[in-house]
Structure 1
Amino acid sequence: MANTPTPRRGRSAVVAEETEPSRDGAAHSPNRKRKSRDQPSPASPVSSTPQEKRSSLTGRVSCNADTKEGIAKIANTGITCCSPKSPRKRLFAGSPQRSRWNPADPVQLSAAKEAFHLSSPPTTVACRDSEQNHILELCKTCIKQGIGGSLYVCGCPGTGKTLSVKKVEELLVAWTKEVGLQSPITLSISCTSLTSTSQIFPKLQILERCCLQKVTGASSPLQKLRDSISKRKPPFCERSVLVILDELDYLITKDRAVLHDLFALTTIPSSPIVLIGIANAIDLADRFLPKLESLSCKPSVVTFRAYNKDQILEILNQRLSILGYEVFDAQALEFCARKVAAASGDMRRALSVCLGAIEQFEKELKMDEKEKKMELVGFNHMDYALSKAFRTPVVETIQSLPQHQQIILCALVNLLKRRKTSTVGDLNKSYLEVCKSVQVAAAGATEFSSMCRVLGDQGLIETVGNKTREEMRKTVGLAVDAADVVFSLKVGEEALTAFFQLLCRRRSRNEARD
């Protein structure tokens, strides 16, 4: 029997066969290699139905009932089967990103400035959990036992002392409601508002309202407070009194009598007063209150250390998180954190610098229409704000010095990093080496000595030695903080050579202009 010829299949038949599922339930892949030129190509996705388009995005599987259900699950969960094209997209595929802000929008610009204003405290105090827990536990103990207590909170300016104490005050109110106790009566006083130290005791007379016994005939407000507390009889009032004295060091007198009397009020057996003093002096309790230690009523001390770079960066990002969009370039924000941490660790200074950078950014937008293409507050804006914030008379003096005198200062800073003391001769050798390395003509010995005397007259360096002693053998040192020199010239410990090269380039430019 002769073989009958196989009928020629059309394009539609081939497409139907390709989409037909196999016996094991798997679909034939339409992307396999073609065996012959006569085999038609798969249907174009342009002419496909919406369901076929979804199938092509999810691996070009067959459109049976099970596959449709799987595709629906994938679409609902928002998972894409195809991988991102670029490494950056692959890195941030699963992480939410903030949208960039619109600097031309006055509402967004005002919100960005408000986020860094000092009058806008955050809802939570970051990086101060251990200090807050220490204060909170002491207050809880005093309230539970119905006794008095004292605490001294100290630390550098801008380290979150007052903000943390206010947060503890809120936590105490929530805790007392939770355990079924009466919330303490809080009295907050800023000692800077007092015209004299003796006015603190009339301010405390308001404590008579919290079930203290009223006393008549007392000779002074202090004696009246003592008598009122000592006459309390059991059962005592369940409500404690939380007295917060900010800027406590303003009450330091020559005989320290005011501070002694204040802390002594908490040691009376029936006293309900929990006194929290806040000041910048770390050793105030040791220097000014030695008598309290002998009376066994020395306050507990909680020290707030200066913020480091990572902590400042975390707090700045916390402020930015409430906006919902990016404002600063990441490098600019880290630059601010590093500079402030190296200088003082003052968080208030960091917030002021960021606010100044935003204002400088806004100023440039208004001055030049071309600058409106900028989308973020950049490094240059932050650098300008930092220079303005840390500008002092010493910084201005150093920045206005001639080139060789600036090189002498930098050489001295670099020299004192390696040794504790140095002589004028050692400084001269370091000066000559630097000038040779950056190809600058060095001054002679006589001119070098003259420049050192000029720097000494301006109060920047100091030399120690007898008048009869040879000039090069005298001991030389800095009369100002080395950080001021480094900040004035905007160099780090390992970037002195780069600074000298910058000076040379500036000098060559000035000569070319002349």
Structure 2
Amino acid sequence: MPSLIGNSSSALYGELDLIGSNKDKEKKSIKGEKIYEIQSKGNSTTQKRRLRSQTTRDSPISSPSKPCSPTKWKLPRRCISGSPNSSGISKESNDKLSRFSKSLQKRLSDTFLPKYSEQMNAVKEVLHVSTTPSVVVCREEEQKRVLELCKGCIEQEKAGSVYVCGCPGTGKSLSMEKVKQLLVGWAEEILEKYQPRKKISVALSPLQHLQNLFSQKKQSSGEKMMLIIVDELDYLITKDRSVLHDLFMLTTYPFSRCLLIGIANAIDLADRFLPRLQPLNCKPMVVTFRAYSKDQILKILQERLMALPYNAFQPQALELCARKVAAASGDMRKALCVCRSAIEMLEVELRDPTCNMNLVLVEKTLCGQQTAPPTEFSAKQEIDTVRVDHMAIALTKTFKSPVVDIIQSLPQHQQIILCSAVKLFRRGKKDTTVGELNRFYSDICKSVLIPQVGILELSSMCRGLSDQGLLKLGQSREDKLKRVTLQVDEADIIFALQGIRFFQNCLQ
């Protein structure tokens, strides 16, 4: 045995003794870094006792991608500066890491993750009313009419006026802003934005200053025309209607070179408030913006959401919003408000997962059918987008009748009176007397063991309900003979009180 080990054994044990004596010094100088030179010449026993650090150093490339122990990660990084190939390896690993991070960011940016506040804020910003879309869709016909009239007036160098009207939220102001951009781009050298260089006299109003400007033959901007856009024209209606009349009369001045575009909600404003413009042949061209249809609302919502690289809404949810808003008013601002409210419902669900069951119940109630429970994958996929139940709750909050709020804020006895009226009018009656209403009221109070009020106090409460527009109370010498008529829909009363168990029993 001694003949087999020879000098190799003494060298090995000598190195190991050196490790033990210098162990504390090496920990202080280089933490965890141990380099040993062990020379073994074909001895199997010595090969088994070789340290792993020596095996790592002897390998042609020290790769940290396959670590055998936690210290294996540290050794290549600390020794890499001493190897000739260290810079190439570090650059290659950094390139791989940067490519991986970029691909990961791209995948994350293309996927809607509601837990990230940046993405939620981006969706809200896209759906905000103040956000101007790059393209104004579904109003090309109206824009074309106004743009052609303005171009014709500029080419003929004459004044003209347009009155743009329509219901609120139909894109009037947005379309006229787009027309202004197109018109200024078409005739940049002809049109100029009016900005008076001199301070206007305090005695003159801006309208009077324009009248004086167009009454003079020589003007500082005589070769250029002026575009005047007056939004919310309804606020200029006065008792004598002089402001509106003088404003549209600017186009009749001998040296007038202005294009006037007035925007308001009233469709017949020009006929009612400007009757004297017709004989003077200066009646403005009327362009009417009709309410948006279901397809138009859906197209506008999709156009806005196309600016995002991910899908935040289910198609069925957007269609439900478009149908409801189109049937109610066709107001695009209302549709944007509903979508933002649906996003907030998704945020509430993510903060409180227990409310998910309530949303599922709402969805089943709206659909009117029982559906199979969703799988784990589909449930995880659906929670990342705005679903139909989110949109349904947002629609309910937005289009909630003010009558419902009034009924829910009433005292209990007045609510019982309304319940009595609903039960009474279910029999086909259109009106009744206070005395008969008192009989139904007494029956409900006795059934739920609530002390009832007298006929005089009941009549006084009916008078209060009449003042709020819920009941119509007739005139009579005796209180019990006064006629009572229900002024609101029975469905509103049932909807307002259906959440209270007490009134559910009363209405059965």
Q: TM-score if structure 1 supplies the norm length?
A: 0.57
Aligned position for 2:396: 387
Residues 462, 473 of structure 2: 8 Å contact kept = no
Aligned counterpart in structure 2 of residue 324 of structure 1, from 294, 303, 309: 309
Aligned counterpart in structure 2 of residue 122 of structure 1, from 121, 130, 133: 133
Cα offset for 1:239? 2.6
SS of the aligned residue for 2:187 comes to helix
Aligned position for 1:166: 177
Query: Aligned letter for 2:349?
Result: E
Rounded Cα–Cα distance in structure 1 between residues aligned with 2:320 and 2:492: 13
CA distance 1:224–1:171, shift in 2 (3 Å): closer
Rounded Cα–Cα distance in structure 1 between residues aligned with 2:287 and 2:148: 12
Cα offset for 1:386? 2.8
Cα offset for 1:475? 8.3
Cα offset for 1:250? 1.5
| 1:75-114 alignment, distance < 5 Å | 101-114=112-125
CA distance 1:309–1:464, shift in 2 (3 Å): farther
Residues 172, 183 of structure 1: 8 Å contact kept = no
Cα offset for 1:234? 11
Structure 1 unaligned residues grouped into runs of 5+:
1-97, 188-202, 210-214, 433-445, 492-498
| 1:226-245 alignment, distance < 5 Å | 226-232=211-217, 237-245=222-230
CA distance 1:318–1:223, shift in 2 (3 Å): closer
Q: What does the per-residue CA deviation read over 1:401-424, in whole Å, with 9 as the maximum and x for residues that have no partner?
A: 788767788899999xx9xx9544
Rounded Cα–Cα distance in structure 1 between residues aligned with 2:124 and 2:285: 38
Does residue 343 of structure 2 align to residue 358 of structure 1?
yes
Query: Aligned letter for 1:367?
Result: D
Q: What does the per-residue CA deviation read over 1:365-401, in whole Å, with 9 as the maximum and x for residues that have no partner?
A: 1234996941211233223323333456532123567
Query: Aligned letter for 1:256?
Result: R
SS of the aligned residue for 1:294 comes to coil
Query: Aligned letter for 1:149?
Result: G
| 1:56-75 alignment, distance < 5 Å | none
Residues 101, 325 of structure 1: 8 Å contact kept = yes
| 1:255-334 alignment, distance < 5 Å | 255-334=240-319
CA distance 1:236–1:412, shift in 2 (3 Å): farther
Aligned position for 1:397: 406
Aligned counterpart in structure 2 of residue 340 of structure 1, from 305, 325, 330: 325
Query: Aligned letter for 1:361?
Result: L
Rounded Cα–Cα distance in structure 2 between residues aligned with 1:490 and 1:369: 24
Please give the root-mean-square deviation of Cα atoms over the aligned residues, in Å.
Answer: 4.8
Cα offset for 1:163? 0.1
Query: Aligned letter for 2:309?
Result: G
Rounded Cα–Cα distance in structure 2 between residues aligned with 1:269 and 1:99: 60
SS of the aligned residue for 2:240 comes to coil
CA distance 1:370–1:308, shift in 2 (3 Å): closer
Q: What does the per-residue CA deviation read over 1:259-297, in whole Å, with 9 as the maximum and x for residues that have no partner?
A: 111111111132111111112222221222112223222
Rounded Cα–Cα distance in structure 1 between residues aligned with 2:137 and 2:170: 11
Does residue 192 of structure 2 align to residue 185 of structure 1?
yes
Aligned counterpart in structure 1 of residue 162 of structure 2, from 141, 151, 165: 151
Greater percentage in helix: 2
| 1:405-420 alignment, distance < 5 Å | none
Query: Aligned letter for 2:136?
Result: V
Residues 405, 455 of structure 1: 8 Å contact kept = no
Aligned position for 2:384: 375
SS of the aligned residue for 1:266 comes to helix
Rounded Cα–Cα distance in structure 2 between residues aligned with 1:106 and 1:364: 14
Cα offset for 1:136? 1.1
Residues 100, 375 of structure 1: 8 Å contact kept = no
Q: Give the paired residue count.
A: 360
Query: Aligned letter for 2:304?
Result: R
Does residue 215 of structure 2 align to residue 251 of structure 1?
no
Q: What does the per-residue CA deviation read over 1:159-200, in whole Å, with 9 as the maximum and x for residues that have no partner?
A: 1110000011122133336xxxx342235xxxxxxxxxxxxx
Cα offset for 1:339? 2.8
Rounded Cα–Cα distance in structure 2 between residues aligned with 1:287 and 1:258: 14
Rounded Cα–Cα distance in structure 1 between residues aligned with 2:478 and 2:398: 42
CA distance 1:239–1:490, shift in 2 (3 Å): farther
Cα offset for 1:235? 13
Residues 306, 344 of structure 1: 8 Å contact kept = yes
Query: Aligned letter for 1:185?
Result: E
SS of the aligned residue for 2:149 comes to helix
Query: Aligned letter for 1:186?
Result: K
Rounded Cα–Cα distance in structure 1 between residues aligned with 2:418 and 2:399: 19
CA distance 1:220–1:158, shift in 2 (3 Å): closer
* Bigger Cα displacement from structure 2, 140-149 vs 317-326: 317-326
Rounded Cα–Cα distance in structure 1 between residues aligned with 2:137 and 2:385: 25
Q: What does the per-residue CA deviation read over 1:36-66, in whole Å, with 9 as the maximum and x for residues that have no partner?
A: xxxxxxxxxxxxxxxxxxxxxxxxxxxxxxx
Rounded Cα–Cα distance in structure 2 between residues aligned with 1:134 and 1:239: 22
Percent of aligned pairs with the same amino acid = 46
CA distance 1:168–1:242, shift in 2 (3 Å): same
SS of the aligned residue for 1:325 comes to coil
Rounded Cα–Cα distance in structure 2 between residues aligned with 1:242 and 1:412: 63
CA distance 1:302–1:344, shift in 2 (3 Å): same
Rounded Cα–Cα distance in structure 1 between residues aligned with 2:350 and 2:474: 56
CA distance 1:505–1:473, shift in 2 (3 Å): closer
CA distance 1:452–1:308, shift in 2 (3 Å): farther
Q: TM-score if structure 2 supplies the norm length?
A: 0.57
